[in-house]
Amino acid sequence: MPFKAGVWPIPKARVKLPEPATSDYIIPNNATASSSAIEETIIGSFDDGTTEDFTIYEVDPDNYVTVSLSVLDSGYYSPKKLYISINSSTGSSNYYKAGVQKSINIDPKDTTLEMAFAITNSTGTDTSARLIVEVDDGSNTTVLYDYHGQLVPTWKKISMDVSSLAGTFTLRIYFYHIYAPGVTTNISLDEIKLLRPTTPYVYDNETTAFWKPTTSNSGEWIYVDAGAPKIISGLRVYWGSNVPNAFTVEVSTDATNWTPVYKQKSPPQPNSWQEIGFYATYARYIRIYLDDQGANPVEIGEVQYYSSLVERVASEHGHGSGPEPWMRGANVRLRYVSKFANIQSRISSLQRDLQKSRTVNVKHVQELTGIVQDLKELVKLLHMS
């Protein structure tokens, strides 16, 4: 096959490669799914009849405000709600802050803080209301929501972006208003929770949490991104308790056009790793397409892929054959790792030279010929192992 600088087409010749060790697998950059179940971390539902560690937050320079907390019936869509009663005993030109606070932990995977609130008062005539939601890490305060308008007599559900935050924070939810003599302001709060999509669980290098699609229908999928087009010849998947009856592994360079490289029509072992080998192919995206999920949505804890620069050259020149995608046995890998490393270094050097010169000269051809010859010898040795 002729060589063209910058273009390395992959022929259909099958390449037999050493079986990768566990440490050879690569964690992808990110993942995209057809759908993703949402996991919740409840901060406050109040269904147990307690304030769930929420305490009074009050900034009252003139000490004119009295704040009380209670848990009452008639939540947003649950039996209970947190009820904050703020009584202003006299008037002043100063503003006060009164509400609740609680220490929370925002995980890097959390994307949304969600809650429902309502605001009423004892007169029903004061139409001015301001509610602020903020988080404070001890050094900086970030305002997540600032409502300034009329009273909110019926429940209002809000969602706030916390995707750029991670760590331990003090969450504050408070009413910010000027003193109003004899007026009691009431704030109802319910279903305060952090939300996270389950998609990132497949590349967090942990097997304790799982991506799940929102349905158990056939045709759900998830793909991982290798970051750039590479030669990929294997996949390592950690399955949860719910495994598919049938699935297909597909690859793509553009996440639009997909080519199947592996198909399985029987369930994998639950709660365990599965190594999937296929012949070297040039791709950036690797997709698990769920042909038959069974009764429940499938759980996938991790997806990792196998790639090596040496495979690219071997595939380019059509080396290797046989029914097995990998050669079995640790001795094969250990015996020739130094030869692989040497060839890989020479390929990298040649690639850099070609990128700089943008043309192919006699020196490049000679070096490439030498690399190909060494690859032939190495492949021959591997076949004999």
Model confidence at 316: pLDDT above 50: no
Alpha carbon distances (Å) from 230 to 112, 116, 178, 261, 286: 34, 47, 62, 15, 11
What separation in angstroms does the CA of 60 have from each of 65, 150, 179? 7, 22, 10
pLDDT at 338: 56
- For 43-57, the pLDDT digits (tens) are 999 999 999 999 999
Q: DSSP assignment of 193-219, as one string?
A: EEEEESGGGGGSS-SSS-B--SS--TT
Which pLDDT tens digit goes with each residue over 35-44?
999 989 999 9
Backbone angles phi, psi at 345, to 5 degrees: -65, -40
What stretches of the chain adopt beta strand conformation (E)? Answer: 17-18, 30-33, 38-44, 55-59, 65-73, 80-88, 95-106, 112-121, 129-136, 141-149, 152-161, 167-178, 183-197, 221-239, 246-252, 259-264, 272-292, 300-307, 326-327
Of the candidates 25, 19, 99, 27, which has an alpha carbon nearest to the alpha carbon of residue 60?
Answer: 99
**How far is Cα 193 from Cα 178, in angstroms, rounded to an integer?**
29
pLDDT above 60 for 11: no
The string of pLDDT tens digits covering residues 322-346 is 334 444 444 444 445 556 667 777 8
3-state secondary structure of 18: strand
Determine the 3-state secondary structure of 371 from DSSP: helix
Set out the domains of the chain in order of their start, with CATH numbers.
17-37+199-384 (2.60.120.260), 39-197 (2.60.120.260)
CB 110 within 8 A of CB 116: no
What does the pLDDT look like over 141-167, one tens digit per residue?
A: 999 999 998 899 999 999 999 999 999
